[in-house]
Amino acid sequence: MQGDWPDGAKFCVSLTYDIEQCTNFPYWTCVWDHEKGAIDAESRRHVSDLAACAQAAGVLFQWFALGQSFTPADVSYLQDLSLAGHPIGNHTYRHVNVKAREWEQVQITYNLDPSLRDGSATPLDAIRNEIQQTSAVMEQRLGVRPAGFRTPGGFTNGLDDAPQIQELLQKEGFAYVSSHYNLPISLPRHQGYPIATETRPSREQLQDAMRASIRSLQPYRYSNGLLEIPMMGISDIWAFRVLDLDRAEWLSLMELGVDIAAEEGLLFSILMHPSVLASRDPHAATARRVVERTLRKGGAVVTNDQIAAHLAG
Ligand SMILES: [Zn+2]
Averaged pLDDT, 189-217: 82
CA 69 to centroid of ligand 1, rounded, Å: 12
Does residue 202 lie within any of the structural domains? Answer: yes
CA 1 to centroid of ligand 1, rounded, Å: 27
Residues with CB under 5 A from ligand 1 (ion): 18, 20, 152
> Residue 200: what pLDDT?
79
CA 91 to centroid of ligand 1, rounded, Å: 7
Does residue 173 lie within any of the structural domains? Answer: yes
> Residue 4: what pLDDT?
78
Does residue 165 lie within any of the structural domains? Answer: yes
CA 33 to centroid of ligand 1, rounded, Å: 10
CA 95 to centroid of ligand 1, rounded, Å: 6
CATH number (domain holding residue 15) = 3.20.20.370
CA 66 to centroid of ligand 1, rounded, Å: 8
> Residue 293: what pLDDT?
98
Range of the domain at 74: 6-311
CA 18 to centroid of ligand 1, rounded, Å: 6
pLDDT, tens digit, for every residue of 168-201? Answer: 999 999 999 999 999 988 776 665 566 666 677 8
CA 263 to centroid of ligand 1, rounded, Å: 30
pLDDT, tens digit, for every residue of 238-265? Answer: 999 988 899 999 999 999 999 999 999 9
> 3-state secondary structure string, the chain?
CCCCCHHHCCCEEEEEEEECCCCCCCCCCCCCCCCCCCCCHHHHHHHHHHHHHHHHHCCCCEEEECHHHHCCCCCHHHHHHHHCCCCEEECCCCCCCCCCCCHHHCCHHHHHCHHHHCCCCCHHHHHHHHHHHHHHHHHHHHCCCCCEEEEEEEECCCCCCCHHHHHHHHHCCCCEEEEEECCCCCCCEECCEECCCCCCCCHHHHHHHHHHHHHHCCCEECCCCCEECCECCCCHHHHHHHCCCCHHHHHHHHHHHHHHHHHHCCEEEEEECHHHHHHHCCCCHHHHHHHHHHHHCCCEECCHHHHHHHHCC
CA 246 to centroid of ligand 1, rounded, Å: 22
> Residue 250: what pLDDT?
97
Does residue 272 lie within any of the structural domains? Answer: yes
Mean pLDDT value across the chain: 94
Averaged pLDDT, 150-156: 96
pLDDT, tens digit, for every residue of 62-94? Answer: 999 999 999 999 999 999 999 999 999 999 999
> Band of the pLDDT at 3, cuts 50, 70, 90?
low
- To the nearest whole percent, how much of the chain has pLDDT over 70? 95
CA 63 to centroid of ligand 1, rounded, Å: 11
> Residue 313: what pLDDT?
76
Report how many domains make up the chain: 1
Is 60 exceeded by the pLDDT of residue 306? yes
- Which of the two residues, 184 and 303, has the higher pLDDT score? 303
Q: Which of 4-18, 186-200, 223-237 has the lowest mean pLDDT?
A: 186-200
Does residue 1 lie within any of the structural domains? Answer: no
CA 297 to centroid of ligand 1, rounded, Å: 31
Q: Which pTM value belongs to this model?
A: 0.95
pLDDT, tens digit, for every residue of 133-142? Answer: 999 999 999 9
Does residue 222 lie within any of the structural domains? Answer: yes
